[in-house]
Amino acid sequence: MNLAQPEDSLGFKYDQQLNKWEIERILSGLSLAAEESTGTPFARARFKKKLLRDVEKWLKTQGKDGLRFLKPEWRYTLCCARMYQGDFSDYFGWEYRGWNNPDETAGWAAQLFWTEQWLPKWSGANTNRVLVIGEQGLGDSILFASIIPEVMVRVNEVIYECDSRLHTLLSRSLPGLQCRPERHFEDRRADYGKIDAYIPAGDLMRLFRRKREHFPRKPFLRPNQLRLREMEPYRGRVGISWKGRQGSIDPFKLRTDGLSLQYNESYDEIEEPHIDLREDIEGVVSLVSVLKEVITVPTTVYHLSGAAGVKTSIVLPEIDGEKVNQIKWQEHPGVSRFYPNTTVYETVEDLDKRAR
């Protein structure tokens, strides 16, 4: 697939009309996106009704060409909604991830996707050296790193720019991977030697995760053996984390005798481990590796435990956090698509039912 030609990603000519099922799929996706809009329930319902009516009319008259005229943020939410529904066949709009995220440079991924840069974009072909540019948060870096083994099959040398807290962990878990600190893409990296192509880490999804069977769901993080011995006193415990950027939940609903994996909040009644849960990522991976189970809201913790093969239960938050108004495509209720031994529960009550 040629990443420089995203207009072809849908696999059809734009002068064709949409089939009924295609319109239904698009409307279903936008319906999910509309649920994430701001305002009162009544205002959201009215917005949703008008949106779907207008989009349906537009698509019937303009055909597939009409998709190109969706606003960037709607292209992205439509893509996320398809992914949430389990459809990874088409990444139309994926390049606009982060478009409305104030923590990121608006349009960073889209700019790299649509315009020529100082390096050619990697299309998945065999080559010598490829630069994978890390993006988004620590958890996303781990999720995208799970795809790097498929890159290494096609490339002699892979350089992954990511958070420095992950460097020793990923270098050990993926032998041969070169981890480097995150840098601005405009920096030409004269100190790296010859690089044949680059790809933003998120675009590895576009290349290698197109069908359900493309998700191997295999553990790949390997903890440090010395640190494992250090964590032996915690073996068999249940770790809990209750607060992330997407939201929070009452920790005492998760587990009354849990071991805290929460780095930015504490309670006298909840035991804390002896390590720095924010900075010592090697320690966290070793810690979760000796636990019986990890119960957490969507946060970096579930990426660490899931990628290490630890039994992980993700509970969707009851209280919204700072990251709202987006489709959370990674955390669809049910068995996780990304990690083994990992399940997503919509409520604490759903989590409790499994023990009955």
User: How high is the pLDDT of residue 9?
Assistant: 43
**Of 150, 182, 155, the residue nearest 166 (C-alpha):** 182
Give the three-class secondary structure for 156.
Answer: strand
Asked whether residue 4 carries a pLDDT value surpassing 50, the answer given is no
Tokens of 227: 């640190």
Q: How far is CA 74 from its chain centroid?
A: 18
Judged by average pLDDT, the poorest of 106-110, 137-141, 221-225 is 106-110
Question: What pLDDT, on the 0 to 100 scale, is given for residue 146?
Answer: 96
Q: Tell me the per-residue pLDDT of 245-274, one tens digit each, with 9 for 90 and over.
A: 888 999 999 988 999 999 989 999 999 999
Which of 44-53, 82-91, 153-162: highest mean pLDDT? 153-162
Q: For the chain, what percent of residues have pLDDT higher than 90?
A: 51
Q: What is the pLDDT of residue 12?
A: 46
Using pLDDT thresholds of 50, 70 and 90, give the confidence band for residue 36. low
Q: State yes or no: pLDDT of 347 exceeds 70.
A: yes
Domain with CATH 3.40.50 in the chain: 116-214, 225-353
Q: How far is CA 326 from the centre of its chain?
A: 12
Q: What percentage of the chain reaches a pLDDT higher than 70?
A: 84
The mean predicted confidence, pLDDT, of the chain is 85
Question: What is the pLDDT confidence band of residue 5, given thresholds at 50, 70 and 90?
Answer: very low
E strands within the chain?
A: 127-133, 155-161, 178-180, 197-200, 238-241, 243-244, 247-248, 259-260, 293-296, 312-315, 319-320, 334-335, 342-345
The CATH number that domain 116-214 falls under is: 3.40.50
pLDDT confidence bin for 49, thresholds 50/70/90? confident
> Which CATH architecture fits 225-353?
3-Layer(aba) Sandwich (3.40)
CA-based nearest residue to 289, from 250, 341, 217: 341
